[in-house]
Amino acid sequence: MSEENKNVADALNDIFEDDPAKKERDKEIAKYEKKRQKAIDKEQKKAAKKAANEAKEAEKKTADDEQENKEKSSWSWDKAVAESSADAKAETADKSEEASQKETSEEAAGAAKSESLDKTAEAVNTDSSEEVYNEDGELDEKALKKQLRKKKKEAKKKEKAEKEVNIVKDLIFLCIYIIIVIGICWAVLTFVGQRTEVSGESMSNTLHSGDTLWIDKLEYEFGSPKRFDVVVFPYGDDDETFFIKRIIGLPGETVYIDEDGVIYINDEPLEGDVYGREAIASDKRGVAAEEITLGDDEYFVLGDNRKNSEDSRSADIGKVKRSYIYGKAWFVASPKKDWGFVK
């Protein structure tokens, strides 16, 4: 800057320094700076006071923690000492009690053993003429053991004898059981059922020659034969030979077979007869070509194989009395292909 310009600047500064507005502005600035500095000082004092308080509280807390730790340490030590003393006392008491119990148990065991020996000796003396006490009145263990061995041998002999008796009893019971079973079977076969074998084809296709058949003899003890039942009855006076036929006519009915082979019951065609293999030929009607009136205890029977069956159409058989009917054909037991109830 030149000397001239410097002089101009100084002159201008002198002018502005004497300006009242500038002076007022500088005064306001100074006042603001003073307030700002005062606020800063106040905040600094407040922060310093807060820091001092926090330091004081921290110091106090540290002192309290040290005191508490000191007290805890002292209490733990006292407690440990007390517990150790109590445990020692308890252990001493337990040992003393255990020793006392052991001593008592040994005394009791000795007394029990002595009592047991005395009782054994008394039992032996009761059952034996030999004494187990010596002259001084003391128990002779050798004599006692000898007597006990003798007793054991006698007990074994007694046990063996009892087993033999039990075997005999079991055999007797088994024999009784077998007899009872045989009796039941006999009763069933005599009064309830009986096995027989089919011979001939008069009942095919219901029954076949060679079929093993079970007869129910009990059913007609409580009821009467029904239409279409397959019944068994003897051939005349021969109790070894039986006929097996199907009931067609019932007591009191009138039976007739016309020329076309149609069966009439009381002048009405028989209904439900699905068992005949084929119609009855005119020359196979037999005595049924004329009306047959059945008595109060008589039945009219036919074989299912109407073409090849000797039945009530034959004068040799005719009407079958109720008392002649032996039982009802119930079940085919063999062969396997024919298994089942008789329908």
Catalytic residue list: 202, 245
- Over residues 89-100, the pLDDT tens digits come to 666 656 666 655
The residue with greater pLDDT, 153 or 320, is: 320
- Where in the sequence is the domain holding 257, given as residue range(s)? 198-341
Number of domains comprising the chain: 2
Residue 211 resides in a domain = yes
Residue 332 resides in a domain = yes
pLDDT tier, 309 (very low <50, low <70, confident <90, very high otherwise): very high
Residue 100: the pLDDT is: 59
Phi, psi torsion values for 331, nearest 5 degrees: -150, 135
Which of 75-79, 82-86, 305-309 is predicted least confidently? 75-79
CATH number at residue 315: 2.10.109.10
Residue 109: the pLDDT is: 57
- Pair 121, 207 in one domain: no
- Token duo for residue 247: 């009931």
The residue with greater pLDDT, 115 or 331, is: 331
Region of 252 on the Ramachandran plot (φ > 0 left; ψ -120 to 50 alpha; else beta)? left
Which burial class, exposed, middle or buried, applies to 40 when counting CB atoms under 10 A from its CB (0-12, 13-18, 19+)?
exposed
User: Which of 108, 127, 146 is at the close of a domain?
Assistant: 127
Residue 245: the pLDDT is: 95
- Over residues 167-222, the pLDDT tens digits come to 988 889 889 989 988 877 666 666 666 788 898 899 988 999 999 999 998 889 88
Degrees (nearest 5) of the Cα angle 196, 201, 194?
A: 10
Say whether pLDDT at 72 is over 90.
Answer: no
User: Could you tell me the pTM of the whole model?
Assistant: 0.48
Mean pLDDT of 255-284: 92
- Pair 86, 207 in one domain: no
